[in-house]
Amino acid sequence: MAHPVKRSNAPVFWLLFGAGGMLAALLGPMLVLITGIAAPLGWVLPPDALSYDNMLAFSRNIPGKLFIFAVVTLFVWHAAHRIYHTLHDLGIRRNRLSMGFCYGISLAATLLAGYALVIIGF
């Protein structure tokens, strides 16, 4: 009987890490500047840039929804993968517990983001 090929789950996590890192490298600085500094201080952007009505409309729009989902979840998966491996470098050896901790938080964040974006409506 042929043994089933035992496949590694590493490429999946590595892909999410790479996608999140790339998205953060390309858009991260401007996202932080807009959401955390310019909009709250009313710099450059109109004072109601991130208002409830604006953001509701943005997140009810399919591309807007996908954009928010991609940013939140890929940033989290990027960080989780990097932290998981950095913990190993700091002496917390890779095991099921540290893996469950890092990727578990990412999975929870992904589910929460998906849930929130679905109940926001379309």
Partner 1 sequence: MNVRRPYVRRMEPGWWWKNAFLLRYMIREMTSLLVAVYAFVLLAGVFALSRGDAAYRQWLDVMANPWSVAFHGLLLAVFLYHSWSWFEIMPKTLPQIRLGGRRLPAAAITWGGLAATVACCGILLGGTLWLTR
Binding mask 14-53 for partner 1 (x = CB under 8 A): ------xxx-xxxxxxxxxxxxxx-xxx--xxx-xxxxx-
Q: Which amino acid is at 66?
A: L
Show the DSSP H helices in the chain as ranges: 10-32, 39-41, 52-60, 62-89, 96-119
Q: Which of 1, 9, 13, 59 binds partner 1 (CB under 8 A)?
A: 59
5/93 with CB nearer partner 1? 93
Distance CA 104, CA 110 (A): 10
Does position 13 interact with partner 1 (CB under 8 A)? The reply is: no
Render the burial of 105-122: b for 16+ CB within 10 Å, e for the rest: ebeebbeebeeebeeeee
For the CB of residue 98, give the shortest distance to partner 1 in the complex, in Å.
Answer: 15
Least distance to partner 1 from the beta carbon of 37, Å?
Answer: 5
Where in 84-113 is the site for partner 1 (CB under 8 A)?
85-86, 89-91, 109, 112-113
With vertex at residue 40, the alpha carbon angle to CA 35 and CA 46, rounded to the nearest 5 degrees, is 90
Rounded to a whole number, what is the largest CA-CA distance in the chain? Answer: 68
Which residue ranges make up the site for partner 1 (CB under 8 A)? Answer: 20-22, 24-37, 39-41, 44-46, 48-52, 54-56, 58-59, 68, 71-73, 75-76, 78-80, 82-83, 85-86, 89-91, 109, 112-113, 115-117, 119-120
